């Protein structure tokens, strides 16, 4: 198997020993894949340069080679803040009301993808596998093909894929999606997004989808499949049992003085449904005065994408809602919502999760949502908390033992909070045990192994040792399979997704 070339918008450089565990699960998984296969992680440094030079900053840390480029201000504005985060992100999260269609954004997006292609091209060797991540880089495969790259290339989309009726509102949508078909493997978080993609390909591009969900396009076969992402289970369970997590757990528990704890942990993003969540909590407080003073909602929401206006808007909106609810329900010695606009180290986060009686994960739309999985992994199996999960998170496909809610219905979420607070221990344990088994089994290692295996592709070529005597022709004898349909049968790796949920 060749080396891996991982390409994503940003690169997570492995920290020196001692800061281990500071990275998120995805970075840890990709770094361990890179250590195993060898290779390079390429992307934007996050730094700005006055004029784009294409200079590659190559570094080797902790067994992983990274290569980064700086971008110029116009690139960042049009590609990152523009097309990626003001056009594709809202559109892919079904928010066409927030989607901005600006021709400059589209041009900036293509220009930066071209810059990515030119910069990474000299790093790719003939039998490398190229693994591209996310909505920032959808046309990258086709640009690399145009520059002569013949390698196996895959794309994994971390976000949802929108329904065709929404996607067609994007100018030049056909061109964008057709460019994706230059990848050999296209991965989605679950079968729902996969089916939306296949629907689009048939309806708008007029292509035929084979029974194994592959698509034949310009003489090549593209495999589309669901690869549900998971967390680094072992690492997270270990973190939750460590000293730092225990200290964070005890600190939080002491501070609430016997009250029940609800926890939310989300990047400050409109897709995460924070406003609706706060309203639902306000409704819960109003409808259940006897329980209201016995619970606290801790919402951790580190700011993100602060240069984009809709993100400034959500911040103001949440501050107003928190003030309103706290004003109505607080007491001299008690505040019902603790809204914290900052991030915490992973180990502390694990301790907070473990201290919480309810994990409140209510995005309006989410590719997967790893917080739901982290919450489950951090619980004490003898006395676990209850996960309340949006039916619109990709994770809901796998986590049917959570209390699944419609995050748009403040009544539904409010009732789920009451039900979770009153849930008997036996039911909590049963639900948690099933959720934990699924989180453990479908972890990030499995995700990346499945993807890399699919990317590696079906075995090719004749058997190394041809039989000495020709065997009599017989149906089903692979050595004799002259029927191309027989030879083209999908391998296990190519078969349609076994989204654990289905």
Stretch that binds ligand GDG, among 323-331, 367-375, 407-415, 421-429 (CB under 6 A): 367-375
Report the side by side order of strands in the sheet with 220-226.
57-61, 64-71, 39-48, 4-10, 129-133, 153-156, 185-188, 220-226, 214-217
Q: Is 158 one of the catalytic residues?
A: yes
Cβ proximity to ligand GDG, 26 vs 137, nearer residue: 26
Instruction: Give a three-class secondary structure readout of 405-468.
Output: ECCCCHHHHHHHHHHHHHCCHHHHHHHHHHHHHHHHHCCHHHHHHHHHHHHHCCCCCCCCCCCC
Query: Residue 94, interface with ligand GDG (CB under 6 A)?
Result: no
213: left (phi over 0), alpha (psi -120 to 50) or beta: left
Site membership for ligand GDG, residue 387 (CB under 6 A)? no
C-beta of 350 vs 417, nearer to ligand GDG: 350
Closest CA to 338 of 410, 416, 259, 421: 259
Size of the site for ligand GDG (CB under 6 A): 22
Q: Residue 343 or 458: which CB sits closer to ligand GDG?
A: 343
Options 136, 158, 249, 397, the catalytic residue: 158
Nearer to ligand GDG by Cβ, of 85 and 119: the residue is 85
Q: How far is the CB of 303 from ligand GDG (least distance, A)?
A: 11
- Three-state DSSP at 197 gives helix
The contact pattern for ligand GDG, residues 198-237, with x = CB under 6 A and - = no contact, is -------------------------------x--------
Residue 345 touching ligand GDG (CB under 6 A): yes
d(C-alpha 353, C-alpha 366), whole Å: 20
Site for ligand GDG contains 275 (CB under 6 A): no
| Shortest spacing between CB 463 and ligand GDG, in angstroms | 39
Paired strand residues for 67: 42, 58
The DSSP secondary structure of 242-256, one letter per residue, reads SHHHHHHHHHHHHHH
Q: Strand runs (DSSP E) across 207-280, as ranges? A: 214-217, 220-226, 260-265
CB of 239 to ligand GDG, least distance (A): 10
Tell me: does residue 263 bind ligand GDG (CB under 6 A): no
Q: How many alpha carbons fall within 13 Å on the CB side of residue 333?
A: 6
Q: How far apart are CA 357 and CA 295, in angstroms?
A: 9
Specify the stretch interacting with ligand GDG by CB under 6 A; choose among 108-116, 137-145, 345-353, 401-409.
Answer: 345-353
Residue 59 near residue 16 (C-beta atoms within 8 A): no
Should residue 369 be labelled a site residue for ligand GDG when binding is judged by CB under 6 A? yes
Per CB under 6 A, 143 contacts ligand GDG: no
| Residue closer to ligand GDG, measured from CB, 23 or 414 | 23
Q: Nearer Cβ to ligand GDG, position 105 or 188?
A: 188
Contacts of 103 (CB under 8 A, 6+ apart): 171
Binding range to ligand GDG, per CB under 6 A, among 33-41, 54-62, 343-351, 438-446? 343-351
Residues 19-58 that bind ligand GDG (CB under 6 A): 24-26
Instruction: Give CA–CA dist 190/111, Å, rounded.
Output: 30
Does position 370 interact with ligand GDG (CB under 6 A)? The reply is yes
Is 378 near ligand GDG (CB under 6 A)? no
Toward ligand GDG, which CB reaches closer, 25 or 351?
A: 25
Write out the binding residues for ligand GDG, residues 144-173 only, by CB under 6 A: 158-159
Least spacing, CB of residue 279 vs ligand GDG, in Å: 21
DSSP 402: S
At residue 332, what are phi and psi to the nearest 5 degrees? -60, -30
Residue list 297-326, contact with ligand GDG (CB under 6 A): 300, 302
In the annotation, is 37 catalytic? no
DSSP for residue 20: T
CB 276 within 8 A of CB 410: yes
What is the set of active-site residues?
A: 158, 366
Q: By CB under 6 A, name the binding residues for ligand GDG.
A: 24-26, 158-159, 229, 265, 267, 300, 302, 343-346, 349, 366-371, 374
């Amino acid at each position: 198997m060749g080396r891996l070339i991982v390409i994503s918008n940003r690169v997570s450089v492995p920290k020196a020993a001692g800061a281990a565990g500071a990275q998120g699960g995805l970075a840890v998984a990709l770094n361990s894949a890179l250590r195993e296969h060898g290779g390079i992680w390429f992307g934007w440094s996050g730094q700005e340069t006055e004029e784009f030079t294409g200079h590659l900053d190559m570094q080797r840390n902790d067994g992983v080679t990274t290569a980064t480029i700086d971008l110029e201000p116009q690139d960042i504005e049009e590609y990152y803040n523009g097309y990626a985060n003001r056009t594709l992100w809202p559109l892919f999260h079904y928010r066409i009301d927030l989607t901005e269609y600006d021709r400059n954004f589209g041009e900036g997006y293509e220009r930066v993808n071209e810059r990515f292609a030119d910069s990474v091209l000299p790093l790719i060797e003939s039998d490398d596998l190229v693994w591209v991540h996310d909505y920032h880089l959808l046309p990258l495969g086709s640009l690399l093909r145009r520059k002569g790259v013949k390698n196996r290339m895959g794309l994994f989309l971390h976000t949802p894929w929108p329904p065709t009726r929404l996607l067609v509102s994007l100018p030049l949508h056909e061109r964008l999606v057709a460019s994706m078909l230059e990848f050999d493997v296209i991965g989605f978080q679950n079968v729902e997004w996969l089916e939306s993609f296949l629907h689009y390909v048939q309806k708008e591009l007029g292509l035929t989808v084979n029974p194994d969900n592959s698509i034949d396009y310009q003489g090549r076969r593209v495999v589309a499949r669901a690869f549900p992402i998971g967390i680094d289970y072992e690492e997270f369970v270990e973190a939750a049992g460590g000293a730092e997590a225990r200290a964070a757990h005890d600190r939080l528990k002491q501070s609430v003085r016997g009250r029940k704890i609800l926890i939310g942990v989300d990047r400050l993003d409109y897709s995460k449904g924070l406003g609706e969540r706060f309203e639902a909590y306000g409704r819960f407080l109003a409808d259940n005065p006897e329980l209201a003073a016995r619970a606290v909602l801790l919402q951790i929401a580190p700011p993100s994408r602060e240069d984009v206006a809709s993100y400034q808007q959500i911040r103001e909106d949440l501050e107003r809602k928190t003030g309103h609810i706290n004003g109505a329900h607080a007491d001299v010695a008690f505040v019902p919502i603790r809204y914290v606009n900052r991030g915490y180290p992973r180990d502390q986060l694990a301790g907070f999760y473990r201290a919480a009686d309810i994990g409140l994960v209510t995005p309006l739309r989410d590719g997967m949502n790893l917080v739901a999985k982290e919450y489950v992994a951090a619980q004490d199996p003898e006395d676990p908390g209850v996960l309340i999960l949006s039916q619109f998170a990709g994770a809901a496909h796998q986590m049917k033992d959570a209390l699944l809610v419609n995050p748009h219905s403040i009544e539904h979420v409010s009732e789920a909070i009451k039900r979770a607070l009153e849930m008997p221990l036996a039911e909590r344990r049963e639900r948690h045990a099933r959720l934990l088994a699924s989180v453990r089994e479908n972890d990030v290692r499995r995700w990346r192994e499945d993807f890399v295996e699919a990317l590696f592709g079906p075995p090719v070529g004749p058997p190394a040792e041809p039989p000495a005597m020709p065997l009599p022709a017989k149906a089903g004898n692979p050595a004799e399979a002259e029927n191309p349909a027989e030879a083209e049968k999908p391998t296990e790796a190519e078969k349609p997704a076994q989204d654990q949920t289905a």
